[in-house]
Amino acid sequence: MSSQAAPTLEPTFATTQPTQATWQRAYRLMHTAAEMARLYEENKAITAKYVHATARGHEAVQLAAAFHLRPIDCVAPYYRDDAMLIGLGLQPYELMLQLMAKRDDPFSGGRTYYSHPSLRRKGFPLIPHQSSATGMQAIPATGMAHGIKYLESIKNLELKIKNEADKSAPTNSNSNAQSNFNSEFLIFNSEAKPVVVCSIGDGAMTEGEVSEALQMAVLHQLPIIYLVQDNDWGISATGREMRTMDAYEFAAGFKGLHRLQFDGADFQASYAGMADAFDYVRARRGPVLVHAKCPLLGHHTSGVRREWYRGDNLTAHNLLDPLPRLHQQMLDLGFTETALSMLAADARATVEADYQRALAAPAPDPATYADHEFAPPAVTEEAGERSPAGADKALMVDAALHTIDDILREFPEALFYGQDVGGELGGVFREAALLAKKYGDARVFNTPIQEAYIVGSTAGMSAVGAKAIVEIQFADYIWPGLNQLVEELSKSCYLSNGQFPVQSLIRVPIGAYGGGGPYHSGSIESTLLNIRGIKVVYPSNAADMKGLMRAAFLDPNPVVMLEHKGLYWSKVPGTEDAKTVEPAAGYVIPLGKAAIAQAADAQKLASGETCVVVTYGMGVYWAKTASRQFPGQVEILDLRTLNPLDFEAVEVAVRRHGKALVLTEEPLMNSFAESLAGRIQRTCFRQLDAPVFTLGAANLPAIALNVDLERQMLPNADKVAAAIGELVSW
């Protein structure tokens, strides 16, 4: 796959041509980008302190794309797109602040790499947090397009309702008809036609998550342009080593994906090609893939230098430099050498001056290092009726269904999707039964078997104002979604300096339930709790399910809600208390507040005969059953939320009793439970009358299918009773 081969142009090219002002702007900014790359190289002792890449060789197509973007649009650049950013109107000074990790870096406050933008600024396209993980931006960007399409549909419905109301109103009426929709989130209308641009390198097209994004884009015909900049390199590997087809050829396999191909080093061709792409998406609201060949004239990054591996290839790429080509095109159009020299000199002077300003700019205050781990929670106090008079008891699964129903009815910006949750079934546990029929396929729908898309798309949804509730069918199947959860969702708030927290509610059925076997029984909370920047909730009864789920939906941060399958229907002996009086609609419990599920007898507490079992989920019911052998001696603390953890409640309970058992369903070794026990030992040591006991599953890689083998490896009431007996007799 030669980098010098001339790409085949698609015959239906638009004839859009740049204006004279656009030509001049392109020339000045292309020189600006080139001068930035030159300055960074000449001052690499300073500028390469933190790794960076530049657009050198890619400037033409990046500027062309930037010139067609509007403030109503969204864009997901990748780490080589500094020319695109200055094309959008950002100043070299602003980019240099990020290059040197300065306090006033407008994207991250000095927290992340150069050309990793996060921007909410009037007059600019929306730019959510961008990670460095190769190809990972494709899913959140597609999620933005998905959110836009949905929000457009309800905005248009709002306008239709309003127009019909206006027609039926008396002509002399001064009343203004109101819709039922919350217009704060509905920023789209039938004329705006926003477009999402996802910029990506051709090497990233081999990532499976890119295929998931393309699949959803064509399935739902989403308004997105995938701009693939192909320089024929992936660090030191050539295109020929990595693939048998380029992005344009690969995209032919996605039915409904419009394709364009042009020379990305030619500004005139790039401007016309991008005009064609934007016109297509704005008019048809369907996806486009643009394949633009570009030379790579700089280093892969400042840390992987071109002289280490490029050889004669760099000479060949230099012949395709877009800057002299633009210079000659402008001479042919009648621009003078003097005029072009003035533009180039202006660019150089700006870059030099901005560099000196950036050098002198202040560094971040180290005291702010922990700011923006999470956005402030929306729910800080318990509110609503937990036990309404005359209310019936509800199963946990029904409480979940009713809560989602309440949310969809109240919040038109809310969607619910995942595998099998749409249509008639409503989830394999019937936890979304018939919601799709009630709210329509645009709001409650099935996805392909794509856990990465299910998780990662919520970041894009959140950025544009849609609020996604999604479901992973079983905890054992969440692993393909972890890349998105870690790289895109968990880091977004912190690395965007608080600009882009991700509102995302991810429901995950979890736990063993009588013969589910190795792929339907696992517990995953310790893995999740090692991901910083997400919240993890684990209710143990119907009332908590309802209150915590609504709080999780309202929380502006990513929340994973673990729902034990064995508690859904209270069919497991000893779990009858999971069925509770159902709270009223609107009931909320703040995340991070534990609850005493069972109190100890005051007299036995005073005489030192008691202990506390710190647990969650199914552990609450093992402990309740076991405690019958020790009347009045066992307090049970239900954590309810594992992150944020109510460690204050844990400490109070442990100090009250002096003896504690931490109980989990997970394999015990290196688990959350062992970590928690260690913290208790450290902070409550002087009040302890015995070592902190722990109990969990056997340290095996999976849950066996045979129920007797399952029973042998998992905790149960008898094992808990044995541990309590040893503990209280210490």
DSSP 178-205: --SS-TTT----TTT---EEEEEEGGGG
Q: Under 8 Å CB-to-CB from 303, ≥6 apart: which residues?
A: 48, 51
- Please confirm whether the linkage preceding 194 is cis (ω < 30° from 0): no
The answer on pLDDT for 173 being more than 50 is no
Q: What is the per-residue pLDDT across 540-591, written as a single tens digit (0 to 9) for each?
A: 999 999 999 999 999 999 999 999 999 999 999 999 999 999 999 999 999 9
Q: pLDDT grade, residue 162 (50/70/90)?
A: low
**Coil, strand or helix: which one is 606?**
helix
- Write down the residue that tokens 């129920």 correspond to: 707
- Write down the residue that tokens 């739902």 correspond to: 220
- The pair of structure tokens assigned to 271 is 């401007």
Phi-psi region at 414: left, alpha or beta (left = phi > 0; alpha = psi -120 to 50)? beta
The answer on pLDDT for 144 being more than 70 is yes
User: Mean pLDDT, to the nearest integer, of 185-192?
Assistant: 56
The answer on pLDDT for 176 being more than 50 is no
Q: What is the per-residue pLDDT across 371-392, written as a single tens digit (0 to 9) for each?
A: 999 999 999 999 999 999 999 9
Q: So what's the pLDDT on residue 98?
A: 97
User: Mean pLDDT, to the nearest integer, of 60-89?
Assistant: 96
Give percent of the chain above pLDDT 70. Answer: 92
The answer on pLDDT for 8 being more than 60 is no
The answer on pLDDT for 236 being more than 90 is no
Instruction: Provide the whole-model pTM.
Output: 0.92
Please state, in angstroms and rounded to a whole number, the distance separating the CA atoms of residues 332 and 517: 72
Please state, in angstroms and rounded to a whole number, the distance separating the CA atoms of residues 709 and 518: 11
Q: So what's the pLDDT on residue 12?
A: 46
Q: Of 117-131, 178-192, 305-319, which range is least confident?
A: 178-192
More confident residue, 311 or 595: 595
Q: pLDDT grade, residue 161 (50/70/90)?
A: low
Q: So what's the pLDDT on residue 313?
A: 84
210-246 CB burial, b ≥16 within 10 A, e <16:
bbbbbbbbbebebbbbbbbbbbbbbeeebbeeebeeb
Beta strand pairing status for 611-615 and 660-667?
Answer: parallel
Contact of 294 with 31, CB cutoff 8 Å: no
- The pair of structure tokens assigned to 162 is 């309003």
Q: pLDDT grade, residue 186 (50/70/90)?
A: very low
Contact of 262 with 326, CB cutoff 8 Å: no
- The pair of structure tokens assigned to 442 is 């645009």
Q: pLDDT grade, residue 189 (50/70/90)?
A: low
Please state, in angstroms and rounded to a whole number, the distance separating the CA atoms of residues 77 and 69: 12
The DSSP line for 505-556 is EEEEEES--SS--TTSS---HHHHHTSTT-EEE---SHHHHHHHHHHHHHSS
Residue 18, CB half-sphere, CA atoms under 13 Å: how many? 27
The answer on pLDDT for 302 being more than 90 is no
Of residues 1, 109, 57, the one with CA closest to residue 366: 109
**Coil, strand or helix: which one is 38?**
helix
Torsion angle defined by CA atoms of residues 364, 301, 63 and 205, in that order, rounded to the nearest 10 degrees: -110
23-60 CB burial, b ≥16 within 10 A, e <16:
bbbbbbbbbbbbbbbebbbeeeeebbeeebbbbbbbbb
Return the DSSP state at 8. P
Q: What is the per-residue pLDDT across 390-409, written as a single tens digit (0 to 9) for each?
A: 999 999 999 999 999 999 99
Q: Of 173-187, 363-377, 494-508, which range is least confident?
A: 173-187
More confident residue, 170 or 127: 127
Beta strands per DSSP E along 556-698: 558-564, 580-581, 595-598, 611-615, 634-638, 641-643, 660-667, 693-697
The answer on pLDDT for 463 being more than 60 is yes
Q: What is the per-residue pLDDT across 20-39, written as a single tens digit (0 to 9) for each?
A: 999 999 999 999 999 999 99
The DSSP line for 634-656 is EEEEE--EEETT-HHHHHHHHHH
User: Mean pLDDT, to the nearest integer, of 368-372?
Assistant: 97
- Write down the residue that tokens 């969650």 correspond to: 616
User: Mean pLDDT, to the nearest integer, of 495-507?
Assistant: 97
- Write down the residue that tokens 């001339």 correspond to: 6
Q: What is the per-residue pLDDT across 469-484, written as a single tens digit (0 to 9) for each?
A: 999 999 999 999 999 9
Q: So what's the pLDDT on residue 75?
A: 97
Please state, in angstroms and rounded to a whole number, the distance separating the CA atoms of residues 577 and 542: 9
User: Mean pLDDT, to the nearest integer, of 721-730?
Assistant: 97
- The pair of structure tokens assigned to 65 is 């794309």
Q: So what's the pLDDT on residue 192?
A: 79
Range 11-16 contact pairs with CB under 8 angstroms and sequence separation of 24 or more: 12/276, 13/260, 13/262, 13/272, 13/273, 13/276, 14/272, 14/273, 14/275, 14/276, 14/279, 15/272, 16/271, 16/272, 16/275, 16/276, 16/279
The answer on pLDDT for 177 being more than 90 is no
Q: So what's the pLDDT on residue 180?
A: 39
Torsion angle defined by CA atoms of residues 134, 139, 140 and 146, in that order, rounded to the nearest 10 degrees: 160
Contact of 120 with 160, CB cutoff 8 Å: no
Q: Under 8 Å CB-to-CB from 73, ≥6 apart: which residues?
A: 125, 126, 194, 195, 196, 197
Q: pLDDT grade, residue 242 (50/70/90)?
A: confident
Q: So what's the pLDDT on residue 183?
A: 39
Q: What is the mean pLDDT of the chain?
A: 91
Please state, in angstroms and rounded to a whole number, the distance separating the CA atoms of residues 581 and 547: 12
- The pair of structure tokens assigned to 369 is 């290092």
- The pair of structure tokens assigned to 508 is 């995950």
Q: So what's the pLDDT on residue 553?
A: 98
Of residues 457, 453, 443, 456, the one with CA closest to residue 407: 443
Q: So what's the pLDDT on residue 188?
A: 55
Phi-psi region at 16: left, alpha or beta (left = phi > 0; alpha = psi -120 to 50)? beta
Beta strand pairing status for 224-230 and 196-201?
Answer: parallel
Give percent of the chain above pLDDT 90. Answer: 81
